[in-house]
Amino acid sequence: MKAIYIEQTGGPDVLRWGDRPGPEPAPGEVLVKLAVSGVNFTDLNARSGINKIPLPAILGSEGAGTVERVGADVTSFEPGDRVAYCMVRGSYAERAAVPAKMLVHIPDGVDFQNAAAAMLQGMTAHYLTHSTFPLKPGHTALVHAAAGGTGRLLVQIAAMMGARVIGTVGTAAKAELAREAGARETILYDQQDWVAEVKRFTGGVGVDVVYDSIGKATYLKGFECLKPRGMMVHFGVASGPIEPFDTRTLTAKGSIFLARPTLASHVSSPDELAWRSGDIFRWIMEGKLKLRIDREYPLAEAAHAHRDMEARKTTGKLLLRV
């Protein structure tokens, strides 16, 4: 089968397009013929070596397609079913063997593109707003990269839950996208002192929670934006991993909390996976959650997608057509 794989870590140039052995479904697994694969920062981190994975490796951790065969002991899926998944590496390929426990059925009202675009980023936004820091009406949240793939979904869900959202973005065009998603205020972080702006918007009080997917460039300043006993939710490293710091900083800033959650810990049971994916698909069909698929590339052009994502040229989800 054709696939995108790496034999060493590095920049986008290490991505290889070629033939790889096709997978066979082991007991408990399902062979999926992929239609679409999602592109995520975790793929870039695996490619660059920030996230350690065994090599050689087929990249990609999110996809949607059709069940081709099922392994022994699989009773919940059958050939022809439309399915989607995330958190299983190997989706930059024509086929993938996926544990049945990680698969979900795609409702009739959702196409492959939206299903692939919604799984990782949608369920990430879900657990951040429903579990890590459960938002309620009256809460104020600061969302970094508010016009990005995860950020824009996070803004929509937070606003849906009644929270006030302040979003940071890189351009005026991205600010408009964030406001369309439900951000009440937006800040151009390259042109404005975003800490001062947050303080101004909140009358000096600060926010209840900071959702930070940026990492190194923002996390320390983010502490300055929190109310006493507020929470910094650090869930990404787009600018690089955060550096070690004295945890007494949390005390000095007002007994604030620091969380470093992952999606894997929030879809580890079938019930949680069904809850989160079910909510996301329902909101899409009801028109409450609007995905923005920024660009689609042929699978062979995965390196182009990685370069665009790293250059901050995107304002939504990137997909690879298989």
In a domain, 125, yes or no: no
Specify whether 212 is located in the same domain as 236. yes
Mean pLDDT by 10 residues, the chain (322 residues): 98 97 97 97 93 96 98 96 97 98 96 96 97 98 94 97 97 95 96 96 98 93 97 91 90 95 94 97 96 94 96 84 96
Q: Which pLDDT belongs to residue 238?
A: 81
Q: Which pLDDT belongs to residue 97?
A: 98
In a domain, 210, yes or no: yes
Cα torsion through 279, 281, 285, 286, rounded to 10: 10
- Structural domain including 169 reads 137-259
How much helix, strand and coil, in percent to the nearest 5, is found in the chain? 35, 25, 40
The CA-atom distances, in angstroms, between 160 and each of 14, 183, 217, 269, 299 are: 41, 11, 29, 25, 34
Q: Which pLDDT belongs to residue 163?
A: 98
C-alpha 75/C-alpha 105 separation (Å) is: 13
CATH of residue 245's domain is 3.40.50.720
Rg of the chain in Å (alpha carbons) = 20
- Considering 236, 259, 282, which residue would you say is the last residue of a domain? 259
Specify whether 53 is located in the same domain as 7. yes
- The model's pLDDT over 172-208, given as tens digits with 9 standing for 90+, comes to 999 999 999 999 999 999 899 999 999 999 999 999 9
Q: Which pLDDT belongs to residue 311?
A: 87
Number of domains the chain is built from? 2
Specify whether 184 is located in the same domain as 247. yes
Specify whether 242 is located in the same domain as 144. yes
- The model's pLDDT over 16-29, given as tens digits with 9 standing for 90+, comes to 999 999 999 999 99
DSSP letter (8 states) at residue 51? S
- Provide the phi-psi class of 175: left if phi over 0, else alpha when psi is between -120 and 50, else beta: alpha
C-alpha 298/C-alpha 125 separation (Å) is: 27
Q: Which pLDDT belongs to residue 155?
A: 98
In a domain, 141, yes or no: yes
Specify whether 104 is located in the same domain as 13. yes
Q: Which pLDDT belongs to residue 149?
A: 87
Q: Where are the alpha helices (DSSP H) in the chain?
A: 41-48, 112-127, 149-160, 172-181, 194-201, 219-223, 248-252, 270-286, 302-310
Q: What are phi and psi of 25, to 5 degrees?
A: -75, 120
Q: Judge contact between 305 and 39, C-beta under 8 A.
A: yes
